[in-house]
Chain A
Amino acid sequence: EADIYQTPRYLVIGTGKKITLECSQTMGHDKMYWYQQDPGMELHLIHYSYGVNSTEKGDLSSESTVSRIRTEHFPLTLESARPSHTSQYLCASSESGGSIETQYFGPGTRLLVL
């Protein structure tokens, strides 16, 4: 198991609330990622970061935002949650290097917006 943590594991919240999903890793990895996993199981990259103060949007458009102030921490924020945000969110990290590095995943946060 990789040393990457996500909290909360489950969250049920009402429409319009602001939420932050936490992701932390203790491996010293420079690169971190957020994926959204649909109920139909497919994963889509929504945000990534190559290091402190670096954030980029992924392939799937998302209303969420991210920040990377510390190497080990990559939180995701939804300013106003909506039912369409209901999904599972998976955080991952990988080393920097010349070759393709393996991404290691956290356990995920399952979000339900009512």
Chain B
Amino acid sequence: AQSVAQPEDQVNVAEGNPLTVKCTYSVSGNPYLFWYVQYPNRGLQFLLKYITGDNLVKGSYGFEAEFNKSQTSFHLKKPSALVSDSALYFCAVSFYNTDKLIFGTGTRLQVFP
């Protein structure tokens, strides 16, 4: 079965420090991977996606993610966290010939001043 896992319910980081939000996936075939962010009382906002090509993907607001096929991971990273990055982050996976997104359970990022 196709699935995506976000092993951490919450990640805490101090402002200015690097942050990582983890995501692993299980799909048959080549995965298409997405990161979305949800601020309070808002819908999901698209951050970045990996379809093919360079394993390092750069997205909005200074975020980037690295696709690692051998570890089946797609961790979200940012070199220097901001308090305004505090939000709920979702990893999602899709695969060839379908538009359905399978979401992880979400990770709450808390950046402390």
Contacts and interface: CB of A to CB of B under 8 A. Distances in A.
A101 B99 contact: yes
A108 to B, nearest CB: 5
B75 to A, nearest CB: 19
Interface string A2-30: 10101001000000000000000000000
A45 B101 contact: yes
A53 interface: no
A6 B42 CA distance: 11
A94 B99 CA distance: 9
**Dominant secondary structure of chain A at its interface with chain B:** loop
Given A45-B101, A59-B100, A100-B32, A106 B43 contact: yes
Nearest to A104: B46
A43 B32 contact: no
Contacts of B100: 45, 48, 58-59
Interface string B23-38: 0000000001010100
Interface of B: 32, 34, 36, 41-46, 49, 51, 88, 90, 94, 96, 99-101, 103-106
